[in-house]
Structure 1
Amino acid sequence: MARSLLTVPLLVTVALAALAWGVLGPAAAFAFVALALLEIAMAADSSVPMAGIAGRLHSPARRLFLSLGIVAGVLAMRLLLPPAAVAVGDATDPAQAVTEAVVAPGAFSAHLQEVRPALAAFGASFIWLVFAEYLFNTDRASRRSWLGRLEARLAAVARPRVWSLVTATAGVALTSVLVGVDTAWAPAAVVPVAVGGVAGVTAYLVSKRVAAWALGSGSALRSWRVHAHASTVVFERGLVVFMLFEILDGVYSLSGSGTSGVDGLGALGQAAVGAAAIGVGALFLARLTSRLDQAAGLQRLRYLKAGAAYVLGVLAVLLWTSLLVPVPGVLVGWFGTVVIGSALASSLPWRAWVRRSRARRAAPRSA
């Protein structure tokens, strides 16, 4: 089953590598393979939180999310959000920002760096609120705490949604103050961080409002509501993946950072190679998430969902931290793997395996 799920992504990867070799040359093919491998590695981490979201969707929305939603959402967020951020931040024409991203990656990279504080603040507050859903157990789901009594107490607080908003607002306010102190309260530095943080909270509330409306019953627009609910999930996960790749670890964006320096590869070639690698990563992410959902992995491995949630919490904190001090790319590239790996290891039935092993060794003696 796992082989069949990965057959299509593997064939697409090989075909695109061959196409890049034939059209753009071997340097482009090697650059594509390197970027695709990085995208696939990060997709393996992202598939766990994606599966957690899929498990909360009703069947029609789940099928849409696992088939088309993840691929479309990741592609849209990875490819369109950077030009959109530049267009909003610089008050320019969106079409001009997209054109610049493709034909002038150096200038686009500089413009993206200018709006990065607002974008990072936006992502941090939004992602923290997504993490707070687990931390304060807003759904009041029955679960076993992964990190002990403190986690259990936080999951049992009264008014969990209020606590979520309070902690997110505190994060926005604290970061804005620290940035203000660090920059002598320069409006050009403080205002983008504060506005970006408030916008992130607002976007989260709007997304959840749409999701709540979509789950309403007894409507002639039920099919539209299914799509609306799925779209909020796609937006949420697409934003998380975008922030993980683009803002902190500096992996390829349309700015050309992933393929710059490849001999003989122009701006259009760089954009094509990068977009193809992003597409491969999105396809692998969708397939891995579908496999994890079908195998009920989050139910069997009881702490895996907790690990996925804490990945989001750490990502939000790192985004806020990156507004004050540089965050090493190696740290960002591996923290998710460490957290997910720890959750996986603690979920495995080690004691049961030991008991069965002892029982098998003792059986011949008793006989």
Structure 2
Amino acid sequence: MARSLLTVPLLLTVTAAALAWLVLGPAAALAFVALALLEIAMAADSSVPMAGIAGRLHSPARRLFLSLGIVAGVLAMRLVLPPVAVVLGSAEDPTATVGEAVSAPGAFAAHLQEVRPGLAAFGAAFIWLVFAEYLFNTDRASRRSWLGRLEARLAAVARPRVWSLATATAGVVLTTVLVGAADRWSGAAVLPVLVGGAAGVGAYLGSKRLAAWALHGGGATGTDTASIGTGPGAWRVHVYASTVVFERGLVVFMLFEILDGVYSLSGAGVFGADGLGALGQAAVGAAAIGVGALFLARLTSHLDEAAGLKRLRYLKAGAAYVLGVLSVLLWTSLLVPIPGALVGWFGTVVIGLALGSSLPWRAWVRRARLRVRSA
């Protein structure tokens, strides 16, 4: 099963690397492989919450979500969101901005850096609210706490949605105050953080409102999408799935473009391909994103088919805490620089710990002892 899971992404990676070598040179091929590996590592982390969502979708919607939906959503978020952020943040001409993103990714990355404070504040508030869904158990799902009594108490608080909004608002206000104090309350420093944080909260509420309309608009009750996955209202479940793709795509975008400071289409230069032209760097970056999106779709599909989240009960918790740490890092990055190495590996470490604690170690030890005794 693992071989069939990796066959298509690996073949695509090898083919793309060979083409990059022949057309753009060995430096471009090595840069592509490095970028693709980073994308695949991030896909491994993102596949866990994606699989959790896929399990709630009716079969026809699930197949579309696991194939076209994830790939298209990640590509759109990684390639479309940066120009949109620059246009909204600096009032640039949309056509010129898109052209610069493709033909001059280095210059575009500098413009993206200019709007970074507002964008980071937006992402931090939005992602914290997504994490708070798990932390305060807004769906009131039955689960076993990963981190013990404190997590169990937070999951049982009254009015969990109020707690979610209150903690997100506190994060926005606290960050704004700290940024203001550090920059002597300069409007140019304070306003982007405050407005970005408020926009993040608003975007989350809008996304959840759209998801609720998609789930309940056809007369369905509860959060089980199976009741609306068929018939004339089947398209609503795809709207719901799109809100999930948006959430995960935003997370991946924040990791790479904001925290790590590497714009996707100019990332080839960071990995030793500085001699490439702008279009060459853009092609290498876009190809690496495509490989990561395909790997994400394949790995999510495998987790869904194998019921991995049910057998490995703490994986979902690990994925949720990755979001919580990411939001805190985003807020922190507005005050102090965050090392790229920390950003690149913290998700893998958390998911690894969740996986390790999910494995039936005690059962394995008991079986080993019984085998020793019987021998």
Residues 160 and 30 (structure 1 numbering): CA distance in 2 closer, same or farther, change over 3 Å? same
2:122 is the alignment partner of 1:111? no
Query: Superposition pairs for residues 186-205 of structure 1, below 5 Å?
Result: 186-205=186-205
Q: CA deviation at 1:317?
A: 0.3
**In 2, Cα distance between the equivalents of 1:321 and 1:53?**
29
Q: CA deviation at 1:224?
A: 2.4
Residue 258 (structure 1) aligns with:
268
**In 2, Cα distance between the equivalents of 1:52 and 1:14?**
30
Residue 127 (structure 1) aligns with:
127
Sequence identity, in percent?
83
Residue 6 (structure 1) aligns with:
6
2:260 is the alignment partner of 1:249? yes
Q: Are the counterparts in 2 of residues 61 and 229 from structure 1 also a CA contact under 8 Å?
A: no
Amino acid at match of 2:203: A
**In 1, Cα distance between the equivalents of 2:146 and 2:162?**
23
Residues 97 and 221 (structure 1 numbering): CA distance in 2 closer, same or farther, change over 3 Å? farther
Residues 288 and 340 (structure 1 numbering): CA distance in 2 closer, same or farther, change over 3 Å? same
Q: Are the counterparts in 1 of residues 267 and 281 from structure 2 also a CA contact under 8 Å?
A: no
Q: Are the counterparts in 2 of residues 54 and 66 from structure 1 also a CA contact under 8 Å?
A: yes
How big is each residue's C-alpha offset from its partner over 1:173-213, in whole Å with a ceiling of 9 and x where there is no partner?
11111101111110001000011011111111111111111
Residue 178 (structure 1) aligns with:
178
Residue 230 (structure 1) aligns with:
241
Q: CA deviation at 1:135?
A: 0.3
* Structure 1 residue ranges without an equivalent (≥5): none
Q: Are the counterparts in 2 of residues 259 and 274 from structure 1 also a CA contact under 8 Å?
A: no
**In 1, Cα distance between the equivalents of 2:258 and 2:196?**
14
Q: CA deviation at 1:106?
A: 2.7
Instruction: Output the TM-score relative to the length of structure 1.
Output: 0.95
Q: CA deviation at 1:351?
A: 1.0
From 272, 275, 280, give the equivalent of 2:291. 280
From 301, 323, 327, give the equivalent of 2:338. 327
Amino acid at match of 2:48: V
Q: CA deviation at 1:263?
A: 5.1
Q: CA deviation at 1:252?
A: 4.2
Amino acid at match of 1:289: T
Query: Superposition pairs for residues 1-367 of structure 1, below 5 Å?
Result: 1-216=1-216, 217-218=218-219, 222-254=233-265, 256-259=266-269, 262=273, 264-364=275-375
Q: Are the counterparts in 1 of residues 67 and 297 from structure 2 also a CA contact under 8 Å?
A: yes
**In 2, Cα distance between the equivalents of 1:247 and 1:9?**
26
**In 2, Cα distance between the equivalents of 1:24 and 1:50?**
35
My pick for the range that moved more, 29-38 or 160-169, is 29-38
Q: Are the counterparts in 1 of residues 32 and 268 from structure 2 also a CA contact under 8 Å?
A: no
Q: CA deviation at 1:53?
A: 2.4
**In 2, Cα distance between the equivalents of 1:205 and 1:128?**
12
Q: Are the counterparts in 2 of residues 24 and 269 from structure 1 also a CA contact under 8 Å?
A: yes
My pick for the range that moved more, 52-61 or 351-360, is 52-61
How big is each residue's C-alpha offset from its partner over 1:36-86, in whole Å with a ceiling of 9 and x where there is no partner?
122112211221222222223333332222111111111111111111111
Residues 125 and 263 (structure 1 numbering): CA distance in 2 closer, same or farther, change over 3 Å? closer
Q: Are the counterparts in 1 of residues 102 and 278 from structure 2 also a CA contact under 8 Å?
A: yes
Amino acid at match of 2:97: A
Q: CA deviation at 1:295?
A: 0.8
RMSD: 1.5
Q: Are the counterparts in 1 of residues 70 and 245 from structure 2 also a CA contact under 8 Å?
A: yes
Q: Are the counterparts in 1 of residues 109 and 263 from structure 2 also a CA contact under 8 Å?
A: no
Q: CA deviation at 1:310?
A: 0.3
**In 1, Cα distance between the equivalents of 2:113 and 2:124?**
17
**In 2, Cα distance between the equivalents of 1:350 and 1:5?**
26
**In 2, Cα distance between the equivalents of 1:115 and 1:59?**
41
My pick for the range that moved more, 125-134 or 328-337, is 328-337
Residue 223 (structure 2) aligns with:
none
How big is each residue's C-alpha offset from its partner over 1:220-248, in whole Å with a ceiling of 9 and x where there is no partner?
75132122111101101100111112111
Q: CA deviation at 1:16?
A: 1.2
My pick for the range that moved more, 50-59 or 226-235, is 50-59
